[in-house]
């Protein structure tokens, strides 16, 4: 290995965020071991990395122990969109909880740092707005989203218990809505849904009256936050919010996508899903102070790149991309 080069494990490395992280780490000169069971990740996301001599792909389900030799671990393995994590809710909880246990056990054996990709969903449908890391949340433990929300909350608990009990070097990032190239067109997330519906001239489906808010972070900004957190001093364990504090209503986003795509699609409304949060906005004071991090890509800039990605994808696959 070259001086400063690390061998880094990325679980969920063929997913939306994982593939961007793998690319970033390779560009920094590291070796990357990408582990994925391809439940939601795709080989297409990492196709450009396969020929890189510093990139290795291993098909593996993180709910089973993994025995490898690495210097750092980024634990991103878990379906993140409601459509996918509700498809097999028991497996979703297992992925969060058993996946945390297995990656933490590996980090403990190797005595290496490990970062958990947690989520703003740990705040549930928040009463406090915006959401600081000190907020304990408002989570339904028995609803259809609970497999993801509570699975991630339990994973955070495990990370901090390993830190206190075994002195493990941990980092916990709470991810807010993130978008960009390599999102799946069928993942049901608001940005990918709206763009694909607009490009295909279909009705744009807004759940609720469109007044619920989200804060959209472009993927390259988020990955920069991941790496800064991993490389921060040992005592900075997190949890730390990573997201864009610029808040937009879902209705505003739908209109913006229609304008930017030149679509003739019309907006239709559907009932709001159970436990869907009404507001979502990160307080990123800690990220600014402790990591010197804040997003730099505006929603307009990010949407231009994301729309271009989906335009190319739809040209290649046609409407089958949404099947």
DSSP letter string, 19-45:
HHHHHHHHHTT-EEEEEE--SS--GGG
The residue annotated as part of the active site, out of 85, 148, 162, 179, is: 148
Q: Where are the beta strands (DSSP E) in the chain?
A: 7-11, 31-36, 55-59, 72-75, 114-119, 170-175, 178-179, 204-207, 213-215, 217-218, 240-242, 247-249, 267-270
Whether 85 is a known active-site residue: answer no
How far apart, in Å, are the Cα atoms of 113 and each of 65, 75, 225? 18, 11, 16
242 - beta bridge partners? 175
Q: How far apart are CA 205 and CA 156, in angstroms?
A: 33
Q: Where are the beta strands (DSSP E) in 105-196?
A: 114-119, 170-175, 178-179
Q: How far apart are CA 113 and CA 284, in angstroms?
A: 23
Task: Check residue 203 and report its DSSP letter.
Answer: P
Q: How far apart are CA 265 and CA 202, in angstroms?
A: 6
Which residues have a catalytic role annotated?
A: 148
């Amino acid at each position: 290995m070259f001086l400063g080069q690390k061998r880094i494990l990325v679980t969920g490395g063929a997913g939306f965020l994982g593939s961007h992280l793998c690319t970033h780490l390779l560009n920094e000169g590291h070796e990357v071991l990408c582990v994925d069971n391809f439940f939601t990740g795709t080989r297409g996301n990492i196709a450009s990395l396969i020929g890189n001599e510093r990139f290795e792909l291993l098909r593996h389900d993180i709910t089973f122990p993994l025995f490898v030799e690495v210097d750092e671990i980024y634990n991103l393995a878990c379906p993140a969109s409601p459509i996918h994590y509700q498809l097999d809710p028991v497996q979703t909880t297992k992925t969060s909880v058993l996946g945390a246990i297995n990656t933490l056990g590996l980090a403990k054996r190797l005595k290496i740092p490990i970062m958990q990709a947690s989520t703003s969903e740990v705040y549930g449908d928040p009463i406090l707005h915006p959401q600081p890391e000190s907020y304990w949340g408002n989570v339904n433990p028995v609803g259809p989203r609970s497999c993801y929300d509570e699975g991630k909350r339990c994973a955070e608990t495990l990370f901090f218990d390993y830190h206190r009990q075994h002195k493990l070097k941990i980092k916990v990032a709470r991810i807010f809505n993130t978008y960009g190239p390599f999102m799946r067109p069928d993942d049901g997330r608001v940005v990918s849904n709206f763009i694909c519906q607009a490009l295909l001239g279909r009705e744009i489906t807004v759940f609720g009256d469109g007044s619920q808010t989200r804060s959209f972070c472009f993927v390259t900004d988020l990955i920069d936050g991941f790496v800064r957190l991993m490389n921060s001093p040992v005592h900075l364990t997190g949890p730390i919010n990573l997201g864009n504090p610029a808040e937009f209503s879902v209705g505003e986003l739908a209109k913006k996508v229609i304008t930017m795509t030149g679509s003739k699609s019309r907006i239709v409304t559907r009932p709001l899903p159970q436990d869907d949060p009404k507001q979502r906005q990160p307080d990123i004071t800690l990220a600014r102070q402790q990591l010197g991090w804040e997003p730099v890509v505006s929603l307009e800039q990010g949407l231009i790149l994301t729309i271009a990605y989906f335009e190319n994808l739809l040209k290649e696959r046609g409407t089958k991309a949404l099947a």
